[in-house]
Amino acid sequence: MDERVEDIWQQVHEGLRGFIAKRVGNEAETDDILQEVFVRVHRHLDQLKEPERLISWVFQITRHVIVDYYRSPGRQRELPVGLADELEVEAPEPTADMDSTAKTELSGCLRPMIERLSEEYRQAISLVELEGLTNQQAAERLGLSVPGMKSRVQRGRKQLRKLLEDCCAIELDGRKGVMDFEHRRPDTPSC
């Protein structure tokens, strides 16, 4: 290993390993990702234009390697909620393997869940998500401010997500699209 890469390793490998482990959760795969990070660091060290930003640069490489890990073919993994945003990189495009039957079945479960929301959130979700109105159009229809409508939609989505997660284990792709799901309580498939 290049002496500069060795110095970088000494500086950051402990913190980097923890950073990766929190996002991957599997020790062997954490080590594989860490190794790939340093292969890329070694390969691209000559491209570092601002040496004072070395640590940031290494962590950016790490973010990209983690995203590649979740994108890798043949290794479908559930991307933890919010991880794509946290890593600040584009999520992968939806794939053709996504099961449209699962999406259809899951969407059938949403209607009763939406009905269980309080009136204000049910109205907001129905107008924006089901009828396809913009927040501004929905706000005008209900006589609310646009920020007020956005808040209701956001809170309604949060409550709906909680109901859905309590009911089902959902496998998402990188864009948070449904790939597959399984009822947590098989005896009550409609939740």
Structural domains of the chain, with CATH: 3-87 (1.10.1740), 100-183 (1.10.10.10)
Give this prediction's pTM. 0.44
Q: Tell me if 125 sits within 8 A of 160, measured CB to CB.
A: yes
How much is the pLDDT for 86? 47
- Hey, what are 138's tokens? 């929905």
Report d(CA 139, CA 128) in Å as an integer. Answer: 10
Report d(CA 186, CA 16) in Å as an integer. Answer: 40
Contacts for 98 with CB less than 8 Å, ≥ 6 apart? 173, 177, 178, 179
Closest CA to 14 of 72, 55, 51: 55
Give tens-digit pLDDT for 146-186: 999 999 999 998 998 888 888 777 766 556 666 566 666 65
Report d(CA 184, CA 43) in Å as an integer. Answer: 45
- Hey, what are 5's tokens? 């890469």
Give tens-digit pLDDT for 32-66: 998 998 888 888 888 878 777 778 888 888 888 88
